[in-house]
Amino acid sequence: MFYRKVVTVLAGLAAATPALAYESSYNLPVGATDISRRVYDLHMMMFWVCVVIAAFVFAAMIYSIWRFRKSSGAVPDKTLTHSTNVEVVWTVIPVLILVATAIPAARTLIMMEDTRNSEMTVKVVGYQWKWQYEYVDKGVSFFSTLAQASNLARQLGSGIDAKTVPNYLLDVDNPLVVPVDTKVRLLLTGNDVIHSWWVPDFAVKKDTIPGFINEAWFKANRTGRFTGQCAELCGRDHGFMPIVVNVVSKAEFAAWLAAKQAEAHSAAPAAAPPAPAATP
Amino acid sequence: MAHAETLALDDHDHKPHGIGRWLFATNHKDIGTMYLVFALVMFLLGGFMALLIRLELFKPGLQFFDPAFYNSLVTSHALVMIFGGVMPAFVGLANWMVPLQIGAPDMALPRMNNYSFWILPFAFTLLLSSFFTAGGGPAGGWTLYPPLSLQAGTSFPLTIFAIHLMGASSIMGAINVIVTILNMRAPGMTLLKLPLFCWTWLITAYLLIAVMPVLAGAVTMLLTDHYFGTSFFNPAGGGDPVMFQHIFWFFGHPEVYILILPAFGVVSEIIPTFSRKPLFGYDAMVYATASIAFLSFIVWAHHMFTVGMPLAGQMFFMMSTMLIAVPTGVKVFNWTTTMWRGSISFEPPMLFALAFLFLFTIGGFSGLMLAIAPADYQYQDTYFVVAHFHYVLVPGAVFAIMGGVYYWLPKWTGHMYNQMLARCHFWLSTITVNILFFPQHFLGLAGMPRRIPDYNVQFTDWNVVSSIGGFAFGLSQLLFVVVIWQCVKGGEKATDKVWEAEPHGLEWTLPSPAPYHSFETAPEVH
C-alpha cells in the first residue's frame, strides 16, 4: 500500500509537469498514443527521482566543500574512517527506490510488447536510404523517400538555406497513412543493413534487420502529421531517410486506400525509384 | 630507511641515452611517460576530429563534409579517444604509479611492458592510414555493426588488424599489472592495505583479460565473413547480425567500466589527500568496485533494447542495469563522506576530482534513465545517449586523468607546475564541457538522432550552443599542454611530499623527481 502511495505521488508529479508542445526543444513529446503518454510519464518520473536524489547528494557535496574548507580553519576528524551502518543504509535505500521505479517500468514494457488484437498490419522495410511500406493483404506498397526540396537543399555546398525549406529533412514523397484509433501492427525488416524505424510521437523504435522480422505496434489517438528518422547508422545517408506518418480519420483512410489500390491495379508494377544521390 | 638508500642510488642513475632509451625502454617510469605522451597526442587528434564534427553541426545544411567522410570522423573520433586516449593514459598512470605505490622496483614483466607500448603507435598508424585509402576511413561507427561495417573498403582490414593489435597491447598490459600487484608488494602491504588506485587497476586488469579476447573474436568473425565465406552475421547464410551485437557488447559493456574504474581509483587517491582525512569506507570501496566489475558482465544488452529482444530479455537487462546504480552510488557517497569533517584545500588535482564527483554523477543519472527500457526506446541512438556517455567519459574519465597528472606530475618531473595556469585550465574546461554536452540531453529528448551530419532546423539552437562549447573546450586543452611542457622544462623544486596536505602512500616517501630506479630494496610497510 505504501508503495502504491509513493508511485502515485511520483506519477502525479510527472503528470503535473506541463505537457509541452508537440515539438519541444528540450523534452520528449507526450505524443499521440497512450503508450507514448505512458513513456513520457515514466521518463518524467525517473527525471524527478534523479532530481530529488541529486538535490540531496549535491547539497551534501556543496555543504562539505564550504563548511570544511581548510581556509576557514576546519580541522580534519581523522577518526571518521568507516561506518558499516551507514554503508548498509545507503545501499538499501537506493535498492528500494529502484524496486519502486522498476515496477511501472516493467508494466509499460509489457504493454509495449503486446501486439495482439491489431486491426491492420503494415510491413516496413529499411533500405539504403529510404523506407518501403506495404499494406499487408491490401495490395498497396510504395517507397518513401526524402522529399525533393529537402534533398536538393541538403547537398554539400548547395547554397540553399535549410530554413527556407519547409519540414527540412522531415518530409517525404509518399508518407505512411494510417487511420486514427486503430491498432496498427508493424512488421519490420531490412533489405541491406540494419536501420531503425523511429517515430517519437508514437514512442515506437524498432531495428529493421536483414533476414529477420521484428514486430511493433501503435494506436494513434489523434489525427495529425508525425515525423521520425532512421535511428541506426546505416551508411552515408543515414541522416536523410526520414519517416512521415499521416494519421487520418477512418473514412479518409478507407478512401485513400481504395485510391491506392486502384492505382496499383491500373499501373504496371512500378520499379523502385532510386535513392536520392548526392550531386558529385 | 628506504629514503636514504634511494638517495644514494640517485648518484648512480644510469639512464640510457638517445633514441635507444625510449625504443628499448624497460623502465616503468619511461614506459609510463611514453604511454602518457602518446595518450595526450591521441586526445588532441581525437579532439580535432570532434571539432570537425561540431563544425559541421553548427548550422543545419551540409557546409563542409561529404556525409560518408563525416561518418568516418565520428567512427574514428571514438576509436582514437577510447583506444588511443583514455586506455593508454590509464595504462601510463598504472605504469608510473603501481610500482611506486606498492614499493616495487619495476613492473613484473618489463620487456613485455615495452612491447605493450610500442604496439600502439604502430596500430594507430595502421588505423589512421586508412583515411588515405580510396574508400576513406572506417565509417560504420566504432561499434562496427554488420552488415554495415562489411560495406567498408580497404579501411576494413586495416581497422580490424589495428583493433587486434590494440587488444594484444591491453591484454599484455593487464597481465603485467596483475602479476606485479599480486607478487611484488612490499612486505606488510596486505591486499586490504593496497592503495585504491592499485585496487581499481587490479580489478580493471581482470576485466581486460576477460573481454579483450571477446572483441578479438567478434572482429575476427567480421573478417572471415567478409573475406573467407563464413556467415556468422549474414542471414543469407544462416547467420545473425544481432549475434554480433551480443558478442560486441559482451566486450563493450565491461569496456566502459575498464574506462572508468581507474578513474575511480585516481579520485580515491586525490580526495583523501586534499581533505586531510583517510578515504571513508575503504573496504566498502573495494567491494563496491568488485561489485561493479561483476555486474558489468550481465548488463550488455541494454545497448540493444530496440533489436527485437524477447520481453524476458528486456526485463532482465533493465533490472540488472538499474542495479549497477547501487554500488556506483555507494562510491559517490563514500567520496562525499571523505570530505565530510575534513579540512579541504583546492589545489588543481582536487579541483578536477571535485568536478569529477559532480559531473560524473550527472552522467550516472542519465545512465539510470537510459536503463528504463520503455523510456530507452525514445533515447536509444539519440543525442541523449551521446550526452550520457560524454558526461561519464569527459568530465568523468578524462578529468580524472587530468587530475591524476596534476597530482603526480611534480613527483615525476621534480618541478611544481604553474598552478595559476592549471587553475585557468580547470575553470575553462569545467565550464565549457557543460556548455558542450549538457544541451545534447535536450537535443536527444527533442528527437535528434546520433551519427547524422545534418538536422531539421528545430534542433539548431542547442547545436549552436554545443558547438561553441566544443570549440571553447578544445582550445582550453592547449593550456594543459602548456602547463605540462613548462613543468617538464623547469619550475620550482618539488619536495618529497610535494603538497602541503602531506599525502600518504609510498610514492610520497621518494624524492621528487622519483629516482630512475626506486625501491630496489623493498620498504617496510606497517
Query: pLDDT value at position A3?
Result: 57
Q: Which residues of A touch B268 (CB under 8 A)?
A: none
Q: Residues 6 or more apart from B90 whose CB is under 8 A from it?
A: B201, B204, B259, B262, B263, B397, B401
Q: Which of B322, B391, B308 is nearest to B357 (CA)?
A: B391
For residue B271, what is the nearest residue in chain A, using CA coordinates? A65
| Sign of torsion over alpha carbons A28, A31, A35, A41 | positive
Q: Residues 6 or more apart from B354 whose CB is under 8 A from it?
A: A61, A65, B271, B346
Order the strands of the A214-218 sheet from edge to edge. Answer: A140-144, A130-135, A120-127, A184-190, A214-218
For residue A114, what is the nearest residue in chain B, using CA coordinates? B311
Q: Which of B518, B508, B411, B512 is nearest to B104 (CA)?
A: B518
Pairing of strands A120-127, A184-190: parallel
- B368 vs B322: CA distance, rounded Å: 6
**Chain A stretch 48-87, residues whose beta carbon is closer than 8 A to a beta carbon of chain B:** 50, 53-54, 57-58, 60-61, 64-65, 68-71, 74-78, 80-83, 86-87
3-state per-residue secondary structure call for A89-133: HHHHHHHHHHHHHHHHHHHHHHHHCCCCCCCEEEEEEEECCEEEE
Q: Are A122 and A178 in contact (CB under 8 A)?
A: yes
- A159 vs A156: CA distance, rounded Å: 8
Residue A173 touches partner B, C-beta closer than 8 Å: no
Give residue-wise pLDDT tens across range B432-462.
999 999 999 999 999 999 999 999 999 999 9
A250: distance to nearest CA of chain B, Å?
Answer: 28
Q: Residues 6 or more apart from B48 whose CB is under 8 A from it?
A: B474
Q: Are B280 and A82 in contact (CB under 8 A)?
A: yes
Query: pLDDT value at position B352?
Result: 98
Neighbours of B112 (CB within 10 A): 15
How far lies A96's CA from each of A9, A50, B293, B326, B374, in Å?
16, 14, 22, 10, 20
Residue A266 touches partner B, C-beta closer than 8 Å: no
Q: How many helices (H) and strands (E) does chain A have?
A: 5, 10
Cross-chain CB nearest to B449 (options A68, A203, A229)? A229
* Cell numbers linked to B246: 551480443
Query: pLDDT value at position A13?
Result: 57
For residue A71, what is the nearest residue in chain B, using CA coordinates? B345
- B306 vs A208: CA distance, rounded Å: 10
CB–CB contact A169 B277 (8 Å): no
Residue A207 touches partner B, C-beta closer than 8 Å: yes
For residue B22, the SS3 value is: helix
B32: distance to nearest CA of chain A, Å?
Answer: 32
Q: Residues of chain B with pLDDT > 90: what percent? A: 96
Query: pLDDT value at position B11?
Result: 45
A266: distance to nearest CA of chain B, Å?
Answer: 35
Q: Which residues of B touch A243 (CB under 8 A)?
A: none
* Cell numbers linked to B466: 554545443
Q: Is B106 left (phi over 0), alpha (psi -120 to 50) or beta?
A: beta
- A70 vs B501: CA distance, rounded Å: 10
Give residue-wise pLDDT tens across range B354-390.
999 999 999 999 999 999 999 999 999 999 999 999 9
Give residue-wise pLDDT tens across range B140-175.
999 999 999 999 999 999 999 999 999 999 999 999
Q: The complex's ipTM?
A: 0.93
Q: Which residues of B touch A69 (CB under 8 A)?
A: 343-345
CB–CB contact B332 A57 (8 Å): yes
CB–CB contact A65 B283 (8 Å): no
B423: distance to nearest CA of chain A, Å?
Answer: 17
Q: What mean pLDDT is predicted for residues B247-263?
A: 98
CB–CB contact A26 B462 (8 Å): yes
Going by the DSSP 8-state scheme, the letter that residue A71 receives in this structure is: G
pLDDT at B264 exceeding the cut of 60: yes
Query: pLDDT value at position A269?
Result: 56
For residue A195, the SS3 value is: strand
Going by the DSSP 8-state scheme, the letter that residue A172 receives in this structure is: B
In this structure, chain A runs to a length of 280
Query: pLDDT value at position A271?
Result: 53
Confidence of residue B192 (pLDDT cuts 50, 70, 90): very high
Confidence of residue B5 (pLDDT cuts 50, 70, 90): very low
- A152 vs A159: CA distance, rounded Å: 10
CA angle, corner A154, sides to A152 and A204, nearest 5? 110
* Cell numbers linked to A276: 536520392
For A58-88, b where at least 16 C-beta lie within 10 A, e where not — what string?
Answer: eebbeebbeebebeeebebeeeeebeeeebe
B444: distance to nearest CA of chain A, Å?
Answer: 8
- A87 vs B333: CA distance, rounded Å: 9
Q: Residues of chain B with pLDDT > 70: what percent? A: 97
Confidence of residue B407 (pLDDT cuts 50, 70, 90): very high
Q: Which of A194, A184, A180, A170 is nearest to A133 (CA)?
A: A184
Give residue-wise pLDDT tens across range B228-249.
999 999 999 999 999 999 999 9
Query: pLDDT value at position B17?
Result: 87
CB–CB contact B374 A80 (8 Å): no
Q: Which residues pair with A123 in a beta bridge?
A: A134, A187
Q: Which residues of B touch A166 (CB under 8 A)?
A: none
- B169 vs B166: CA distance, rounded Å: 5
- A102 vs A264: CA distance, rounded Å: 48
How far lies B259's CA from each of A46, B263, B322, in Å?
26, 7, 19
CB–CB contact B145 A237 (8 Å): no
The pLDDT mean for chain B works out to 96
Phi and psi at residue A192, to the nearest 5°? -135, -65
For residue A208, what is the nearest residue in chain B, using CA coordinates? B307
Cross-chain CB nearest to A46 (options B66, B140, B368)? B368
Q: Residues 6 or more apart from A274 whose CB is under 8 A from it?
A: none
B66: distance to nearest CA of chain A, Å?
Answer: 6
Residue A116 touches partner B, C-beta closer than 8 Å: no
Q: Which residues of A touch B453 (CB under 8 A)?
A: 239
- A153 vs B61: CA distance, rounded Å: 7
Q: Which of B302, B181, B207, B319 is nearest to B246 (CA)?
A: B302
Q: Residues 6 or more apart from B351 whose CB is under 8 A from it?
A: B403, B423, B426, B430
Give residue-wise pLDDT tens across range B302-319.
999 999 999 999 999 999
Neighbours of A142 (CB within 10 A): 20
Give residue-wise pLDDT tens across range B464-503.
999 999 999 999 999 999 999 999 999 999 999 999 999 9
Q: Residues 6 or more apart from B485 whose CB is under 8 A from it?
A: none
Percent helix, strand, coil in chain A, to 5, is 40, 25, 35
- B130 vs B153: CA distance, rounded Å: 9
* Cell numbers linked to B243: 549475434
How far lies A214's CA from each of A1, A184, A189, B377, in Å?
38, 14, 6, 14
Q: Are A241 and A169 in contact (CB under 8 A)?
A: no
Q: Which of A160, A106, A249, A14 is nearest to B316 (CA)?
A: A106
Just list the catalytic residues of B: 77, 106, 142, 169-170, 253, 255, 257, 268, 302-303, 328, 331, 450
CB–CB contact B340 A68 (8 Å): yes
CB–CB contact B236 A102 (8 Å): no
Residue B483 identity (one-letter amino acid): V
Query: pLDDT value at position A20?
Result: 39
How far lies B234's CA from each of B146, B147, B148, B231, in Å?
8, 7, 11, 5
Q: Which helix (H) or strand (E) holds B51?
A: helix B28-56
3-state per-residue secondary structure call for B246-311: HHHHHHHHHHHHHHHHHHHHHHHHHHHHHHCCCCCCHHHHHHHHHHHHHHHHHCHHHHCHHHCCCH
Location of C-alpha cell 567498408: B152
For residue A145, the SS3 value is: coil
- B258 vs B261: CA distance, rounded Å: 6
Q: Are A220 and A202 in contact (CB under 8 A)?
A: yes
3-state per-residue secondary structure call for B92-133: HHHHHHHHHHHCCCCCCCHHHHHHHHHHHHHHHHHHHHHHHC
For residue A68, the SS3 value is: coil
Residue B130 identity (one-letter amino acid): S
CB–CB contact B240 A78 (8 Å): no
A159: distance to nearest CA of chain B, Å?
Answer: 9
Contact pairs from chain A to chain B, CB under 8 Å = 288
pLDDT at B4 exceeding the cut of 50: no
Q: Are B293 and B203 in contact (CB under 8 A)?
A: yes
Mutate to test the interface with A, among B70, B304, B341 (most CBs of A within 10 A): B341
Going by the DSSP 8-state scheme, the letter that residue B191 receives in this structure is: G
Query: pLDDT value at position A194?
Result: 98
pLDDT at B105 exceeding the cut of 60: yes
Low-confidence ranges of chain A (pLDDT < 70): 1-23, 268-280
